[in-house]
């Protein structure tokens, strides 16, 4: 039996679907029983817990599992974003050891090898470090910049613009969350790695610059789309304009600076570099 967190979200839903399609028993974790109903209909066991921060409830949910897919979902409204993410990871780590689950696949990020200079990615660095102290065998899936991040600015492409904090011509790894879910599910199906920790650095089928992304949107909306580059100094005013606290906005500024200066990049050594297969246009199409 496998346990899957974040099943109402992008990656967890694909992990659970893939495991169910492989004929495996799956226990999905939800915070709201109504959101569990569709999964029950698909044959999953549903476990309702208030939060992944609830160590005792999570340990009980992990009981008897041969593997689990876990993540540390960000709450950009948190009073202290970094402290809250550390608390979630601490609870996850304690629950892993209480439950004796043998294998955990944890969603991390490109740049997850660095302690700082990466903004919100610092939280999954802490996650990797903290989970490494547990008894479980671990697979860290360091995912590239999500293609789904473009959803927020996709409406502007109909007016011929793609706003971007990434330089128009800077090609970076980007991945669709369907690829992440598929790779995470495969890791669970393969079972615990031979080494104690296996790190998968997961890119999409090809690296893309914002100009490439604009060209894909252009073909989808049937008009020329130009990248509207904004400097990283515009991140904080833009994010706070959407009601996000200045401390969280500052973390995103740090992340975009990290992308610009090459810090948010693959580690490359002692890792497995994997590419997904999803066509970027098939992801971006949903946003226009
Ligand atoms: N965006 C990027 O470029 C990028 C790159 C690399 C890694 N990441 C990582 O990707 C992760 C997000 O993954 P995703 O896109 O699959 O998730 P998502 O679609 O944002 O959904 C988050 C999921 O987590 C659940 N959740 C949220 N807070 C929870 C809590 N306190 N306790 C239990 N469940 C909770 C949500 O359930 P509800 O339905 O109850 O809300 C939902 O199922 C983040 O951890 C981030 O670090 C992002």
Q: Is 205 in the pocket of ligand 1 (CB under 6 A)?
A: no
Q: Is residue 255 part of a domain?
A: no
Angle value at C-alpha 49, between 48 and 54, nearest 5 degrees = 165
Instruction: Give the range of the structural domain holding residue 77, as residue numbers without chain letter.
Output: 2-144+176-202+265-278
Ligand 1 atom closest to residue 123's alpha carbon, by position in its atom list:
47
Q: Is 38 in the pocket of ligand 1 (CB under 6 A)?
A: no
What distance in Å separates the CA atoms of residue 21 and residue 40, rounded to the nearest whole number? 14
Angle value at C-alpha 248, between 5 and 58, nearest 5 degrees = 20
Note the pLDDT of residue 190. 98
Note the pLDDT of residue 151. 98
- Protein residue closest via CA to atom 17 of ligand 1: 9
Tell if the pTM clears 0.85, that is, is over it. Answer: yes
Ligand 1 atom closest to residue 50's alpha carbon, by position in its atom list:
32
Query: CATH number, domain at 78?
Result: 3.40.50.720
CB-side exposure of 219: number of CA atoms within 13 Å?
Answer: 9
What distance in Å separates the CA atoms of residue 203 and residue 276, rounded to the nearest whole number? 6
Residues of the chain with pLDDT under 70: none
Note the pLDDT of residue 167. 98
Note the pLDDT of residue 50. 94
DSSP state, residue 270: S
Q: Is residue 102 part of a domain?
A: yes
Q: Is residue 208 part of a domain?
A: no
Sequence-ordered list of residues with C-beta below 8 angstroms from that of 209, at least 6 positions apart, any chain? 166, 167, 168, 169, 170, 171, 172
Note the pLDDT of residue 269. 96
- Alpha-helical (H) ranges within the chain are 10-21, 33-41, 55-62, 81-99, 122-131, 177-190, 210-221, 235-241, 246-260, 280-284
- Find the 72 Cα to ligand 1 centroid distance in Å: 7
Note the pLDDT of residue 156. 98
Q: Is residue 214 part of a domain?
A: no
Q: Is residue 252 part of a domain?
A: no
Q: Is residue 181 part of a domain?
A: yes
What distance in Å separates the CA atoms of residue 288 and residue 240, rounded to the nearest whole number? 25
Q: Is residue 242 part of a domain?
A: no
Note the pLDDT of residue 46. 98
Give the dihedral sign, CA 95/63/195/276: negative
Total number of domains constituting the chain? 1
Q: Is residue 273 part of a domain?
A: yes
Note the pLDDT of residue 91. 98
- Protein residue closest via CA to atom 20 of ligand 1: 9
DSSP state, residue 66: S
């Amino acid at each position: 039996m496998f346990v899957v967190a974040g099943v109402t979200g992008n990656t967890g839903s694909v992990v659970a679907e893939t495991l169910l399609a492989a004929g495996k028993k799956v226990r999905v974790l939800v915070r709201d029983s109504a959101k569990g109903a569709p999964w029950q209909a698909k044959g999953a066991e549903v476990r309702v817990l208030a939060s992944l921060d609830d160590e005792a409830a999570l340990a009980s949910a992990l009981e008897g599992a041969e593997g689990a897919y876990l993540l540390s979902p960000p709450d950009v409204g948190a009073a202290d974003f970094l402290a809250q993410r550390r608390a979630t990871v601490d609870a996850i780590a304690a629950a892993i050891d209480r439950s004796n689950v043998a294998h955990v696949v944890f969603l991390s990020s490109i740049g997850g090898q660095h302690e700082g200079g990466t903004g919100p990615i610092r939280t999954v660095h802490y996650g990797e470090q903290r989970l490494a102290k547990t008894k479980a065998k671990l697979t860290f899936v360091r995912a590239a910049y999500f293609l789904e991040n473009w959803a927020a600015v996709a409406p502007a492409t109909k007016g011929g613009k793609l706003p971007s904090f990434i330089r128009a011509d800077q090609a970076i790894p980007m991945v669709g969350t369907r690829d992440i879910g598929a790779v995470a599910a495969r890791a669970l199906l393969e079972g615990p790695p031979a080494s104690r920790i296996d790190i998968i650095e997961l890119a999409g089928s090809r690296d893309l610059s914002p100009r490439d992304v604009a060209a894909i949107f252009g073909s989808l909306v049937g008009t020329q789309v130009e990248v509207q580059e904004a400097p990283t100094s515009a991140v904080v005013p833009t994010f706070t304009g959407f009601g996000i606290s200045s401390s969280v906005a500052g973390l995103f500024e740090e992340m975009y600076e990290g992308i610009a200066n090459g810090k948010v990049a693959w580690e490359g050594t002692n890792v497995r570099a994997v590419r997904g297969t999803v066509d970027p246009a098939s992801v971006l199409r949903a946003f226009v």
